[in-house]
């Protein structure tokens, strides 16, 4: 029978090799890496290119995703399409333990008045061809 230390060591070395499809219109939000308006501006650029976006976050960053979506919605840049919540198991890099984190995905699509609102907000902004 394996000891707890041996099992913990095996868990640390365990890697998932399943290929995860990365959506081009997905923005993975962190509440520590970038300020919230970085993600708001990135979302506007993605809306110009892809017509719809998916904001995604884990754990404490879920509040940031809600804030970003509210800014986009209240300023008429986007409309809410779908909200998905789930719990995912993540391996803590420092301790090697598996922890459960909340995951939030908010799908939004470009509003009908997006171009008009964008040009009013920043008249010098050039349109990005998608």
pTM over 0.85: no
Question: pLDDT-based confidence at 9, cuts 50/70/90?
Answer: confident
So where are the chain's domains?
A: 23-118
**How many helices (H) and strands (E) in the chain?**
4, 4
The helix or strand, by DSSP H or E, that contains position 60, with its residue range, turns out to be: none
Pairing of strands 78-91, 98-110: antiparallel
Question: pLDDT-based confidence at 2, cuts 50/70/90?
Answer: low
Q: What is the pLDDT of residues 21-49, one digit of tens each?
A: 667 889 999 988 899 999 999 999 999 99
Q: Which CATH architecture has domain 23-118?
A: 2-Layer Sandwich (3.30)
> Three-state SS for 7?
helix
User: CA separation (Å) from 112 to 32, 79, 101, 109, 117?
Assistant: 32, 9, 35, 9, 10
Q: What is the pLDDT of residues 114-125, one digit of tens each?
A: 888 888 876 665
Cβ-Cβ contacts under 8 Å for 57 (sequence gap 6 or more)? 28, 29, 30, 31, 64, 65, 103, 104
Question: pLDDT-based confidence at 16, cuts 50/70/90?
Answer: low
Question: pLDDT-based confidence at 96, cuts 50/70/90?
Answer: confident
């Amino acid at each position: 029978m394996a000891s707890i230390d041996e099992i913990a060591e095996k868990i640390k070395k365990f890697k998932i090799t399943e290929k995860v499809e990365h959506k081009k219109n997905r923005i993975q939000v962190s509440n520590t890496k970038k300020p919230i308006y970085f993600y708001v501006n990135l979302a506007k650029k993605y809306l110009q290119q892809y017509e719809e976006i998916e904001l995604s976050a884990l754990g404490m960053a879920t509040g940031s995703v809600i804030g970003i979506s509210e800014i986009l919605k209240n300023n008429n840049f986007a409309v809410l399409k779908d909200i998905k919540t789930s719990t995912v198991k993540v391996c803590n890099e420092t301790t090697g333990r598996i922890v459960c984190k909340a995951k939030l995905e908010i799908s939004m699509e470009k509003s009908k008045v997006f171009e008009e609102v964008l040009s009013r907000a920043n008249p010098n902004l050039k349109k990005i061809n998608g």
